[in-house]
Amino acid sequence: MRIKITSILSLFLLMTACAVAAEAPQRQKNDVVTFWAEQQFDVVSPAGKSAVAIHFELEKDWHFYASADSPPGGMNLKLEPNEQGTKALSFGKPIFPKSDWLLDETQGKKFEVIGGKFTVYLPFTVAESSGEKTVVVNIGIVGAVCSNTQCRRPDFGSVKVEVKIKPGDVSAQPKFALPEPQKSPAVTGQWADYSVWAALVLAFVAGLSLNIMPCVWPVLPIIVMRLVEQAKQGKSKSVTMGLAFCTGVLLFFACLAGANIVLKLVYNTTLQWGDQFRNPAFVAGMAMLMVVLALFMFGLFTITVPSSISGRSGSGKGFGGAVGMGFLAAILSTPCSFAILAAAFAWAQAQPLGLATLAIMVIGIGMATPFAILTAMPALLSKTPRPGRWMELFKQTIGFVLLVIAVKLIAALPVDRRMNVLYFAVVLGFCVWMWGGWVSYAAPASRRWAVRVIAVALAVAAGFAFLPAPKPSLIDWQKYDSAVIKQTQNVNKPVLMDFTADWCLNCVVVDKKVYARKDIADLIKQKGVLAIKADTTVSDYPATSALKEIYNEPGVPVSILLVPGQDEPKRWRGLSFGDELKLALEQLKNQ
């Protein structure tokens, strides 16, 4: 009797465990990520709304990119739902959790990332015409998962979800509540808690401080020159032209406010100060502008003041020139004022649209105020220091400050663009020297124009040669990590290491002649080769030590292929070894 009771209880417990296991979400683990899906409702009626929650668990110190604007090549985390044989469901935008900032020391930039345990919600609506059915949805998961030392882009596959649709009044308790979309971390924080008046004062002070930024100083002599010239023509003329200059400053900030309004109303996003610095073209352009202005401060060329700028001609031309000069001064303030303006913009973006617009315009008012005061009181200009040797030394000192700012901007560029921008900066400096130093103003006009046309043509040609974005690598290179290499060898997989350095011009040749070949890239993928980009730019890099101590190589470039079952690796030290590498790869076993 006891045996029968025990058997019945065991069978009951087993059936209960199987039922629980069948209801529990099936976890999938891929690489360092575990994920599974959960539906908000078990059954959804036609025209009803529900959602799928994708839960993620990452290993310690690993993360996904949260924004498509941060990583190259679209490596951010994405969910891609795909129905099978029906159009019964309409999916909305995924709702991601709040992201964090992570500093990538290799690029000197901050990226938005998500890691640890988090959930991404995928809302959907059932078509009104749907009848009773079960819709199978495969939700693809795409993205790179990264740590502080490497990035992997595994094939996560997809999670399968079966959505049951049943007409009628379907009542059930939701398994989770759908959260509100998270705002970018850049628009939250301590500045959002400031009072309106305190924040507007901050905005005014931020605009006022723009006038002492080194980036604006190159145009200050021209501004002072036109103010002095206007003062000689009477108070009425001085006030009119001063207001025109202030209008130019305000016009720049009005453009920013207008862009913020469009982004908010049309795209439901905000204008964050610093977004422009996420654009490599903008950053490179501002860096080159700083280089040109530095050369101006060094006296390599001069900026003449035409009648339209000095205001000596018709009032129309003088007014237009003043507006343009004010607009230029506001633009030049942007590279030097990131921290100040970022604080004011952060507060503005947490406010209603009207108040945000007012705060942005107050920044412009703060910048324009000193010029409005000077032009309204021409007597103040008589107290300006007289020109002398000190002014020339001061200008040249500011030139070096501008070069430091240019270097900081270039350092903010992606690693694969920095060197090309530096090369272009040298060519651009040479062209500026040609423009201002090869001919004097007393030279015939034909000679001046000939030299300047050549200078411009050379600069444009250099721009086409150095500035285009580099093509994405055909090979999925990983950073040098001895532990990863050893782990790969332990499972009998080949490893290809390209020892390189930023200062090595021959390494660039190897990249273009060997590793840019599609047949070699395809073989590396086909044979399952772990491709390592071993950076030896600095002496204390791990790859630098390995090059000398493990592989006994005197310098770069050198490529080393570790073949399973072979004690001695294959090595190539030249520039044109593509065919030899291809042959060696072909001899490897397919993975």
Q: Are 161 and 139 in contact (CB under 8 A)?
A: yes
Residues 435, 437, 438, CA angle at the centre, nearest 5°?
Answer: 80
Q: State residue 494's pLDDT score.
A: 93
* Strand spans (E) along 421-569: 478-479, 495-500, 530-535, 558-562
Q: Which token pair is 373? A: 């005061």
Q: State residue 111's pLDDT score.
A: 74
- Integer CA distances (angstroms), 169 to 89, 130, 193, 537, in order: 18, 14, 45, 67
- 10-residue stretch averages of pLDDT, the chain, 591 residues long: 55 49 64 88 88 91 76 71 76 87 59 88 88 88 78 80 82 80 48 61 80 69 62 69 84 85 68 64 85 85 53 50 78 64 62 78 87 74 65 80 85 81 93 88 84 92 85 86 90 92 81 90 91 88 90 88 90 88 89 67
Q: Which residues of 120-148 are buried (b: 16+ CB within 10 A; e: fewer)?
A: bbbbbbbeeebeeeebebebebebbbbbe
Q: Which residues contact 384 (CB under 8 A, 6 or more apart)?
A: 224, 228
C-alpha–C-alpha distance, residues 533 and 220, integer Å:
47
Which run of H or of E encompasses 521? helix 518-526
Q: Which residues of 26-58 are buried (b: 16+ CB within 10 A; e: fewer)?
A: eebeeebbebbbbbbbebbbbebebbbbbbbeb
Angle between helices 415-437 and 280-297 (to 10 degrees): 30
Q: State residue 585's pLDDT score.
A: 92
Side chain identity, residue 1: M
Q: Does the model's pTM come out above 0.85?
A: no
Residues 373, 379, 238, CA angle at the centre, nearest 5°?
Answer: 60
Q: Residue 208 phi/psi, 5° resolution?
A: -60, -40
Q: State residue 460's pLDDT score.
A: 93
CB-neighbour burial class of residue 361 (10 A; exposed 0-12, middle 13-18, buried 19+): middle
27-182 folds as: Immunoglobulin-like (2.60.40)
Residue range 478-586, CATH number:
3.40.30.10
* Strand spans (E) along 33-132: 33-39, 43-44, 49-58, 63-65, 78-83, 89-91, 100-104, 109-115, 117-126
C-alpha–C-alpha distance, residues 165 and 465, integer Å:
58
C-alpha–C-alpha distance, residues 553 and 188, integer Å:
51
* Strand spans (E) along 144-242: 145-146, 151-152, 158-165
Q: State residue 20's pLDDT score.
A: 40
C-alpha–C-alpha distance, residues 447 and 441, integer Å:
10
Peptide bond into 123 cis (omega under 30): no
C-alpha–C-alpha distance, residues 291 and 425, integer Å:
7
Q: State residue 504's pLDDT score.
A: 79
C-alpha–C-alpha distance, residues 281 and 215, integer Å:
19
Q: State residue 23's pLDDT score.
A: 47
Q: State residue 308's pLDDT score.
A: 44
What ranges do the domains of the chain cover? Answer: 27-182, 187-413, 478-586
Angle between helices 235-267 and 353-376 (to 10 degrees): 170
- Integer CA distances (angstroms), 355 to 195, 203, 347, 358, 404, in order: 12, 12, 10, 5, 36
Q: State residue 201's pLDDT score.
A: 82
Q: Which token pair is 541? A: 């890099």
Secondary structure letter of residue 44 according to DSSP: E
**Helix and strand element counts for the chain (H, E):** 17, 19
Q: State residue 315's pLDDT score.
A: 39
C-alpha–C-alpha distance, residues 435 and 425, integer Å:
15
